[in-house]
Structure 1
Amino acid sequence: MTDTRQAVLAALADGPVTGPTLADRLGVSRAAVWKHVEALRDEGFGVESTEDGYELTAIPEYGADAVAFGLDASFDVEYHDTVGSTNDRARELATDGRENVVVLADRQVGGRGRRDRAWESPSGGIWLSAVLRPDIPPARAPLLTLAMAVAVTDAAREHGVDATIKWPNDVLVSNASEGTPDASSGDSLVSNANEGTSEDSGGRKLSGILTEMEGESGRVSWVVVGVGVNANVDPGDLYEGATSLRSEAGRVDRRVFVQRVLERFDELRDDFDGVLPAWRERTSTLGRRVRVHLPDGDLVGRAVDVTETGALVVDTGEERRVVHAGDCEHLRPV
């Protein structure tokens, strides 16, 4: 959306305004105002001509312009009805030198999670990737994953969903009772053929986050933070052990939810020192017995903290190990 069209929308949001007033305010012709109004109508905005002037009567349900309208965060939005992977598209934009762009899609057909696991993403979910160029050391880039987990969790809680964070990259909804050990440490939010997972003692999976980075010589070139949220996904499309905002609290306004996620994330990336305290307050991992799958074998112990770079500290009873990456299971208490 052009800057002028955004200015027209902003003016309409304040109430009815006449064409001549808009033209004078924006320094354009009345014909140009009319063209912008027609373009907004084509994009799905309801703009009525009344005795008092143009009046905004409806906002598109979803899409780039819908999310950008009223967004209090410094991101441009690129929307696709269907895309292979929002992360792949974001990587293309990052390679082209873009930053502060969010790639948003109604449906992904080639999504992937950690370790290139399949990640099916049907219509009704929230699939987005943010292109960033943060001025931070590469070692601190994982904190952006934690920041996004906080943002998703806060947005879910605002919508009445009891969400918590499981290290390193999942947002869960608490189970009604403690149960079996976690068997859902994969990243697919929706079932593939013949795939099944059981509920874990940490909760049902609502969201997953995948962060990718490119950098050199101690400098971050770009970071892409990808997010998948089971928003209004049909419950029949969810695998056992997953859940959705729709299942927990009814259908949500995806436009509003995305705005809240982006606004909260924008706050946190401007207050990096606040990320870890916020994450610790919202996690269900710390204080629990966990099993972390590592290349050299499983590590079992109590998760006691995260480091300033987002690594998990596990107390085995004999030593404290710092884990920078791995699949984490929540285990039921002994």
Structure 2
Amino acid sequence: MQETRKRVLDALAEGPVGGPAIAEELDVSRAAVWKHVEALREAGFEIESREDGYVLVGTPEFGGAAVEFGLAAPFDVEYHEEIGSTNDRARELAGAGAEDVVVLADEQTGAKGRLDRAWASPSGGVWLSIVCRPDLPPAQVPIYTLAAAVATTEAVREVGVDAGIKWPNDVLVADDDGERKLAGILTEMEGEADRVSWVVVGIGLNANVDGEAVPDTATTIREQVGDVDRAALTRRLLERFDELRADTEAVLPAWRDLSSTLGRRVRVETPGGDVVGTAVDVEFPGSLVVETDEGEKRVSAGDCEHLRPV
């Protein structure tokens, strides 16, 4: 959202306030204030004109402006009712030099997960991709994936969903049907041997979506606890991710606390073969430590499966 419009919105939120008072405070014309008010109305904000000034009486349910309103993190939000893939759009923006932009959509029509797997993204979800330019070597980028998993899991726990993280980045809910996927994360990057040019962190969260609209192996917030305020949920997720990317040393302790993998028997499919044993720890920037019959092994990437106890 344009900075002056944000300030107009902040003033309206504390209203009633007259147009001349806003114009004087922001050092803009009264006509400019009126244009910003009309633009906010078009974005879905309910603004009444009263004798004592403008009053903000309602906010949009979802969308870029709804998420940016009250967002305590330095992100601009580009919103789409429908898009092929937020990650695809985020890569375009990253290539054009963008930074700290969130591509957000109500629905995706061509989303992909890890290993190019199709990802169901019906209307009602939270589908977003964050464009970052971290001062990190490429080998440390996986910590951003773990940070996104922590931020997502904490956000859904705050709305009542008892979720955990399966290494490295799947957010799962355990119920009578076993463990089902609530959210997934796909991180992409471009860079050279010693530095990162950009990182795109894609997060797909089944929020206000019917259970029948996602695979049997997945679940949704609606199915678990009912519908939630998606704008508030998205703000909380983005704010927590912003905190963690600024303090990467806090990521692993938080990830361990939320892990549904540590202490479990696992099978991790890697290019060098399966690693089977008990997951005992996660190390910076995100390697899983597995205690096998041959001793400890560290896995930096692979498909992890939770196994039944022997």
Q: Shorter-chain TM-score category?
A: over 0.9
Please state whether the residue corresponding to 1:174 is helix, strand or coil: strand
Are residue 251 (structure 1) and residue 197 (structure 2) matched? Answer: no
What is the CA distance between 1:52 and its match in structure 2? 2.0
What's 1:114 paired with? 114
Distance 2:120 2:173 in 1: 20
2:128 alignment partner AA: L
Are residue 330 (structure 1) and residue 306 (structure 2) matched? Answer: yes
What's 2:30 paired with? 30
What is the CA distance between 1:107 and its match in structure 2? 0.8
What's 1:236 paired with? 212
> Could you tell me which of 288, 291, 294 is aligned with 1:318?
294
1:34-183 equivalences under 5 Å are 34-176=34-176
| Superposed CA offset, 1:81-111 (max 9, x none) | 1111100100001101111000001111110
Distance 2:29 2:111 in 1: 45
What is the CA distance between 1:319 and its match in structure 2? 1.5
What is the CA distance between 1:15 and its match in structure 2? 2.4
Distance 2:121 2:175 in 1: 23
What's 1:299 paired with? 275
Moved more, 68-77 or 309-318: 309-318
Distance 1:51 1:170 in 2: 53
1:209-224 equivalences under 5 Å are 209-224=185-200
Distance 2:15 2:309 in 1: 57
Distance 2:216 2:110 in 1: 21
Work out which structure has the larger RCO, using CA pairs closer than 8 Å and 6 or more positions apart in sequence: 1
Q: Which has the higher strand share?
A: 2
Distance 1:89 1:264 in 2: 23
Q: Is the 8 A contact 2:211 2:223 kept in 1?
A: yes
Alignment identity in percent? 65
Q: Is the 8 A contact 2:209 2:220 kept in 1?
A: yes
What's 1:283 paired with? 259
Distance 1:212 1:32 in 2: 40
Distance 2:91 2:55 in 1: 39
Please state whether the residue corresponding to 1:120 is helix, strand or coil: coil
2:13 alignment partner AA: A
Are residue 272 (structure 1) and residue 256 (structure 2) matched? Answer: no
| Superposed CA offset, 1:229-276 (max 9, x none) | 000111211221211111111001110110000000001011111000
What is the CA distance between 1:293 and its match in structure 2? 1.2
Q: Is the 8 A contact 2:120 2:214 kept in 1?
A: no
RMSD of equivalent CA atoms:
1.0
Distance 1:15 1:280 in 2: 44
2:162 alignment partner AA: D
Are residue 207 (structure 1) and residue 183 (structure 2) matched? Answer: yes
Superposed structure 1 runs of 4+ greater than 4 Å apart: none
Distance 2:131 2:290 in 1: 32
> Could you tell me which of 285, 290, 308 is aligned with 1:309?
285
What is the CA distance between 1:175 and its match in structure 2? 2.3
Q: Is the 8 A contact 2:111 2:120 kept in 1?
A: yes
Distance 1:145 1:276 in 2: 11
Superposition TM-score, scaled by structure 1 size: 0.91
Distance 1:26 1:34 in 2: 13
Please state whether the residue corresponding to 2:175 is helix, strand or coil: coil
